[in-house]
Amino acid sequence: MEIEKTTSDATMDVVPASNAVSFPGKPNFKPLKAHEISDGQVQFRKVPVPPHRYTPLKKAWMEIYTPIYEQMKIDIRMNLKARRVELKTRPDTPDISNLQKCADFVHAFMLGFDVCDGVALLRLDELYVESFEIKDVKTLRGEHLSRAIGRLSGKGGKTKFAIENSTKTRIVIADTKIHILGSFANIKVARDSLCSLILGSPAGKVYSKLRAVTARLAERF
């Protein structure tokens, strides 16, 4: 049985154009500047300078100062009394994250990385610095420790360069501390290779494993 529509139902179906609801346009807000995000407060970062990096910092100061001040729009100064590099935001700083990037860049230089390698931290978001000690992998003393450091570097730094080039990372071996700069996946590959060398694997075995892993990484990307 079909039910006929009443006149009242028919009028409900059609909404007259005069009663149509008009929605306001989408609001368009300008992006906040760095000093506005923090309620107008100036953000600071302080990076301590170890004694052995004081002279290299003096020599490379303009190379560090120029990209931070001119491109990232962050104020930087060297506090000679406290022996630390101090960074702060400016009213024209385009992004608040620039301050942390600059602090990471200066910290990477203090760890022993070259300025040209550290600048990558300013330009790319997915780069990190990871640090660990040889004793974290295996407890070694005396000559055993010296031999492990020698295995990591190789003759004339050959092993270190091979790991750096194949994994697209940069490695600093400072006594028993090891610092790796790179992306998350690449740091993992480099760290696994270094740990194998510390545990006593010969360089040839590490190279062949590296070839297989880097080929797999190249396929993935």
Q: What is the pLDDT of residues 90-135, one digit of tens each?
A: 888 888 888 999 999 999 999 999 999 999 999 888 898 999 998 8
Split at pLDDT 50, 70, 90, the class of 83 is very high
Q: Give the 3-state secondary structure percentages of the chain, helix then strand then coil, rounded to 5.
A: 55, 15, 30
DSSP letter string over 7-40?
Answer: HHHHHHHPPPGGGPPPPPPPP-PPPPPHHHHTTT
Predicted confidence (pLDDT) per residue in 15-40, tens digit: 555 566 667 778 888 877 666 676 66
Q: Is 219 exposed, middle or buried (0-12, 13-18, 19+ CB in 10 A)?
A: exposed
- Tell me the pTM: 0.77
- Please answer whether residues 159 and 203 qualify as being in contact, where contact means their C-beta atoms are separated by less than 8 angstroms: yes
pLDDT at 170 over 80: yes
Q: Given this model, what pLDDT does residue 28 score?
A: 84
Instruction: Flag the least confident range among 20-24, 29-33, 43-47, 83-87.
Output: 20-24
Query: First CA to last CA across the chain, in angstroms?
Result: 65
- Please answer whether residues 87 and 97 qualify as being in contact, where contact means their C-beta atoms are separated by less than 8 angstroms: no
pLDDT at 8 over 60: no
